[in-house]
Amino acid sequence: MTQKILAAHAGLDTVRAGQLILAKLDLVLGNDITSPVAVKEFAKLGVDSVFDKDRVTMVMDHFAPNKDIKAAEQCKMCRDFCGEKGITHFYDVGEMGVEHALLPEKGLVSAGYAVIGADSHTCTYGALGAFSTGVGSTDMACGMAIGKAWFKVPSAIRINLTGSLRKHVSGKDVILHIIGKTGVDGALYRSMEFTGSGLSSLSVEDRLCIANMAIEAGAKNGIFEVDELTLEYLREHGAAEPVIYSADGDAEYDEVLDIDLSQIEPTVAFPHLPENARTFAEIGDIKIDQVVIGSCTNGRLSDLKAAAEIMKGKHAAPGVRVIVIPATQRIYLEAMELGLLRQFIEFGAVVSTPTCGPCLGGYMGILAEGERAVATTNRNFVGRMGHVDSEVYLASPATAAASAVTGRITSPWEVDKL
């Protein structure tokens, strides 16, 4: 699928793994951390305007609402640039959300697109049948200027999904299981292509989560076959007419990984790598200090619903701080209308405005020395969420909520019995 999309955007009949190409872009993305560097590089290129003001987008989500003066200055630089260049899709406080949840929601990505973003988790949009990948800020600047980027065509791994997910098991558990099998470099500069009868068991939200974390296996991108669920999602969100690319029957793959979704259990990635995946048969009594539910991986409405189902009628364990971050304003509003925000607050949680916040150690939940957090985020590197001697355990919203109930890392299956 990836090679077909890249060939089409390079104006070629076919491409092969390892080939260098220059491909047209459908969308160029930046945020408040990466865009200021790109803006400075753009100024050096000697061009007056972006290639298409409707195909460049900037989202102020990492340190917004601004946490300090430097963050404010970075956002101001983006705001001024987008105003000067007439950028249509600029999202600031009050309209913004976590970028990789916001863009699909706004219908800015469609099947068959080629997308670059100066953020590693740009690979999220492969869930919608697009080729999307993270790039550096200099590549973003060039993309904004000419609407093209160069790529080395990746080879592919086929991940064949069968079966159906069990109760309280989600896309987060699936991708943690897969990364546990492949390691953080098992898909290095390769395309992870998700296919098989098990796709029907995965919601679009599950797929967005899985594609988001393809980068944690070292992949160039993750991409899902387009099916009726994909097309329905694209229609509902007003995306452009999809162009569907399917792999040939004799497509070449470096390897095939078979995953039976019915065998996936609630899974937790231990510090300090996403590959340190364990199921609860391997997890002892680990007390925690904080739970974070949100991020571009797991801040969607289905994630909040999954957490709320576990929390219903219960209260956070003493001494556990619980932070819930809806990924977009729309999700925040929907959660409010469903009564979820009241439920979170009565549970003992705080509910934040949409932001990346604590995921990258920004703000809204920094960890002190020796503290442990269960988070629905996508990375748990040393110092990722605060002090270098803190620990982050990656988990699904259901597992994070269950852990908030007990004050220790807990399976949602266990809380069901309480």
- 3-state per-residue secondary structure call for the chain: CHHHHHHHHHCCCCCCCCCEEEEECCEEEEECCCHHHHHHHHHCCCCCCCCCCCCEEEECCCCCCCCCHHHHHHHHHHHHHHHHHCCCEEECCCCCECHHHHHHHCCCCCCCCEEEECCHHHHHHHHHCCEEEECCHHHHHHHHHHCEEEEECCEEEEEEEECCCCCCCCHHHHHHHHHHHHCCCCCCCEEEEEECHHHHHCCHHHHHHHHHHHHHHCCCEEEECCCHHHHHHHHHCCCCCCCCCCCCCCCCCCEEEEEEHHHCCCEEECCCCCCCEEEHHHCCCCECCEEEECHHHHCCHHHHHHHHHHHCCCCCCCCCEEEECCCEHHHHHHHHHCCHHHHHHHHCEEECCCCCHHHHCCCCCCECCCCEEEECCCCCCCCCCECCCCEEEECCHHHHHHHHHHCECCCHHHHCCC
pLDDT at 416: 81
Cα(161)–Cα(163) distance, integer angstroms = 7
| pLDDT < 50 positions in the chain | none
Q: Which tens digit of pLDDT belongs to each residue from 6-29?
A: 999 999 999 999 999 999 999 999
Cα(217)–Cα(303) distance, integer angstroms = 22
pLDDT at 339: 97
pLDDT at 342: 97
pLDDT at 357: 92
CATH 3.30.499.10 domain position(s) in the chain? 2-261, 267-413
pLDDT at 65: 93
pLDDT at 93: 94
Residues 6+ apart with CB under 8 A from 333: none
The CATH number of 2-261, from 3.40.50.720, 3.30.499.10, 3.40.190.10, 2.60.40.10, is: 3.30.499.10
pTM (predicted TM-score):
0.95
pLDDT at 321: 98
pLDDT at 267: 97
How confident is the prediction for the chain on average, in pLDDT? 96
* Cα separation values, 140 from 120, 261, 302, Å: 12, 37, 32
Cα(44)–Cα(38) distance, integer angstroms = 10
Query: If you classify domain 267-413 with CATH, what class do you get?
Result: alpha beta
